[in-house]
A and B are shown apart, each in its own frame.
Chain A
Amino acid sequence: MGVMRIARLELARGWKLWLVALGLGLLAAVMSRLTRDSRLTDVCMVGGAVLSWIIAVAVGMSLLGRPLHDGRLAFFFTRPVHGATIAGGKTIGGLVLIVGMQVLFLAPPMMVPPSSYQPGWTYELDGILFAVGMTTVFLAAGLVVGILARSRSRWFMLDAIGATTAALLAVATFAQVNQAQRYAALHEWTWEQAEPMFDRINVFLRTLAITGVLVVFAAVIVAVAIGRTDRDRVHRSLAITLWSSLAVVGVASVMFAHWGLV
């Protein structure tokens, strides 16, 4: 209940973004109707999606990093509310805000399809899920960057090592996925033979992305719950929780990609 109360505060703070998104979505719908040019509409939609990703980063940075920096997180910590509730409420509020913004932007062009319009990526469920998923990824990234950038503590070396390790593990995972695909090509598998593997790769990559985002959200919530209003302590907790969790996920994904895909 406390989570929703804090989430509502974030929504009350940023609801105007929804109006802007709806306005842009309506503009995109009208343009697609008037021009009957699917490429122009696609450019408009991609532009809108990219804009919402940028906004997602900005919202993410402002959710916890800014109040942590200017001392306003103390307002919540001097109330009878648990630390995880504070961080969780703010995160959920930000998530609902930016996903709602994305949906409001995408909905009008989808509901008013032009007569000569060739359905593009925005009409496919995968395309919409990708847009919303990426918004969530950027929000998560914004949360982390907001805390790391504004805390300016001595733990940045830990971040550098952790980020490098996570990046190396991600590269190793994708290398294993590529190798699995090459294996199918080298052995001249038929589509019937290869399809189960491609399905596994698809499910694996989606699961990995969702797990990665959940790990980031969980690490941020744990870090704020542990560190409270102490920037240095929040940064240290985030660095330890985030990078160690991502390392575990990374190692597990490399192992699965190596042994579990083919």
Chain B
Amino acid sequence: MTNDPLVLDTVTVRIGGRVILDQLSLAVKPGSVFALLGRNGAGKTTMFRCLLGLRRPDEGRALLFGRDAWTHRAAAMARLGVVPEEPDVPLDMTPRALASFCAPLYPRWNSDTFANRLRHFGIREKTPFGRLSRGQKTQVLLAVALCARPEALVLDDPTLGLDPIARRELLAELVRELADNGTTTLISTHDFAAVEGLATHIGVLRDGRMVLTGELETIKASYGNVDADPMRASGDPPASLEEVFNDIVERQRGVAA
């Protein structure tokens, strides 16, 4: 289990007496793209914060590259690219300043790639971060993450708040990167269609618990199975990810009721 770059081992987090993550376990295999699905408030961001060493779990442990994320955060970050849910770069920092700040921190930083990516998306290097559009901010953060040539990427709902074009561009960029380098990736998103072309594994988080995890194709095949799902006819195409997710949510609702 510890060979996996991103691991959560029975992590529990309580905030104000409320259980946010409940004995959550997760292992992202090297080279895989793990899509984390879940409704708002399921605990995705808290899970990411634990994994990034930003929050110490009350129980269990989060591991980055086999070492405790809380105690070895700084060292692990040199090998990890992060795109947060909310762009968090200081608002007055320009992409150029951002690059010159980040370049010495990452041993494999590629300045040319960074400049090219900005140019490709029409982002001026001297525009303060606060004046960029939401999509541009995310593109800058993705550029920072990718130019460090990380061994793993953690993307917390990077398409949130993006218009369809910006979303498509961002995901195309990701697909290209993953195809080129096979970087281990953990991504949370509500964009099922996009994830379907990207993910190799999925996990469904609900009320702080992982209610389903496994290989995407296996899960889709099992949900498209006539025996497993009587509503399906033998000629039906495999279930879409969105159908799988909705089905799981409905089933969980039924269990809870």
Contacts and interface: CB of A to CB of B under 8 A. Distances in A.
Interface residues of A, number: 23
Contacts of A67: 90
A71 B77 contact: no
B158 to A, nearest CB: 13
A1 B104 CA distance: 10
Interface stretch (B36-44, B80-88, B221-229, B245-253): B80-88
Contacts of B90: 9, 13, 67, 72, 75
A73 B53 CA distance: 13
B52 A79 contact: no
Centre residue among A2, A71, A74, A78 by max chain B CB count within 10 A: A78
A5 B101 contact: yes
Contacts of A79: 77, 102, 105
A221 B165 CA distance: 43
Nearest to B91: A72
Contacts of A230: 54-55
B84 A74 contact: yes
Contacts of A75: 88-90
B75 to A, nearest CB: 7
A229 B49 contact: yes
A12 B54 contact: no
A229 B90 CA distance: 15
Interface string B52-90: 111110000000000000000111111010101010111
B192 interface: no
A2 B101 CA distance: 9
A79 B77 CA distance: 5
A74 B88 contact: yes
Contacts of B56: 233
Contacts of A5: 101, 104
A78 B86 CA distance: 13
B84 A80 contact: no
B102 to A, nearest CB: 7
Nearest to A81: B74
A262 to B, nearest CB: 50
Contacts of A233: 56
Interface in A28-78: 67, 71-75, 77-78
A80 B75 contact: yes
Contact of B77 (A1, A80, A228): A80
Nearest to A82: B74
24 contacts: A9-B93, A9-B97, A9-B101, A71-B86, A71-B88, A72-B88, A72-B89, A73-B88, A74-B54, A74-B84, A74-B88, A77-B52, A77-B54, A78-B54, A78-B84, A79-B77, A79-B102, A79-B105, A80-B74, A80-B75, A81-B77, A228-B54, A228-B55, A229-B54
Interface of A: 1-2, 5, 9, 12-13, 67, 71-75, 77-83, 228-230, 233
Given A71-B88, A79-B102, 7 more contacts: A9-B90, A72-B90, A72-B91, A78-B77, A78-B88, A80-B75, A229-B54
